[in-house]
């Protein structure tokens, strides 16, 4: 794990830090890529985190959310300590069995789901999978299928 200090900055309302070029290059080397989202893990001020390194407006940024750093939007300009490395762990999410069953029984919804971008599919799967109550799962699986069929909204989206 490589460490550095960085000033907390903000862009479009999102706190972030820039990574030093040497650390960024090490992460690229470990990840085997220099494009797309790169999963990372580490510590911010000694608190562990899992996050995704993103390129935005031509610069790679580590976004610092409030789980990583309490009150991060109010701490702009503060110097924070970061330790970071590429996270090679599997971050895939298994869809809830009720969502899989619903897709298997509705070919049109399955076809639309398969045509969605990987990030949109992951968003839907993550939302349903993270629900705790079975009633919520059932209600949201129905909403997701309706959404895929063009009826209504789901996860803040109007159309698939």
The answer to whether the CB of 95 falls within 8 A of the CB of 128 is yes
Task: For residue 131, name the pLDDT band (cuts at 50, 70, 90).
Answer: very high
Give residue 69's domain range.
2-86
Q: 18: domain CATH number?
A: 2.40.30.100
Does residue 159 sit within a domain?
no
pTM as predicted: 0.70
pLDDT digits (tens, 9 = 90+) for 108-120: 999 999 999 988 9
Number of domains in the chain: 2
Residue with tokens 């839907």: 124
Report the alpha-carbon distance of residue 132 to residue 117 in Å, rounded: 26
Regarding whether 74 and 13 lie in a shared domain, the answer is: yes
Query: Is 82 within a domain?
Result: yes
- Does residue 19 lie in a domain region? yes
What DSSP line would sit under 76-132, residue for residue? TT-EEEEEEEE--S----PPPHHHHHHHHT-HHHHHHHHHS-HHHHHHHHHHHHT--
pLDDT tens profile 59-109: 999 999 998 988 888 899 999 999 999 999 988 889 999 999 999 999 999
Give the residue from 65, 86, 107 where a domain finishes.
Answer: 86
On whether both 69 and 110 belong to a single domain, the answer is no
Query: Same domain, yes or no, for 7 and 81?
Result: yes
């Amino acid at each position: 794990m490589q460490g550095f200090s960085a000033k907390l900055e903000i862009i479009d309302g999102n706190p972030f830090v820039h990574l030093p070029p040497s650390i960024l290059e090490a992460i690229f080397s470990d990840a085997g890529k220099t494009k797309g989202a790169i999963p990372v893990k580490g510590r911010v001020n000694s608190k562990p985190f899992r996050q995704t390194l993103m390129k935005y407006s031509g610069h790679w940024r580590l976004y610092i959310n409030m789980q990583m750093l309490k009150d991060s939007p109010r701490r702009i300009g503060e110097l924070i300590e970061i330790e970071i490395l590429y996270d090679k762990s599997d971050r895939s999410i298994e869809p809830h069995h009720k969502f899989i069953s619903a897709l298997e029984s509705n070919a049109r919804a399955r076809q639309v789901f398969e045509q969605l971008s990987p990030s949109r599919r992951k968003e839907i799967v993550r939302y349903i999978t993270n629900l705790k109550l079975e009633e919520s799962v059932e209600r949201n699986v129905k909403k997701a299928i309706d959404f895929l069929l063009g009826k209504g909204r789901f996860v803040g989206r109007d159309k698939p």
